[in-house]
Amino acid sequence: MTEDAAFHEGYRRALEEVAHLVTGMQDAELDSLAALLEELDKRIEKARCLGRSSLASRASGDRGF
């Protein structure tokens, strides 16, 4: 795994851990909690796509994103 892909994978995992912790929160307002979880989901998906892009660029020989 390339350094870029490893970074994005680590970032995605960290966000998933935060999302899991937020899901376990009991005293938060539901609207703000839902908005936070939605933002985390978007960032997780972006990190997943960037990680795949990094791996694909290395496999094809390209250096850019």
CA distance 13 to 26: 23
CB atoms within 10 A of CB 58: 15
| Rounded alpha-carbon distances, angstroms, from residue 8 to 26, 30, 50 | 30, 29, 6
pLDDT value at residue 30: 77
In the chain, domain spans: 3-60
For 31-64, what is each residue's pLDDT tens digit?
Answer: 788 888 888 888 888 888 877 777 666 666 555 5
State the distance between the two ends of the chain, measured CA to CA, in whole angstroms: 16
Q: Span 3-27, mean pLDDT? A: 79
| Rounded alpha-carbon distances, angstroms, from residue 6 to 33, 41, 51, 52 | 29, 19, 7, 10
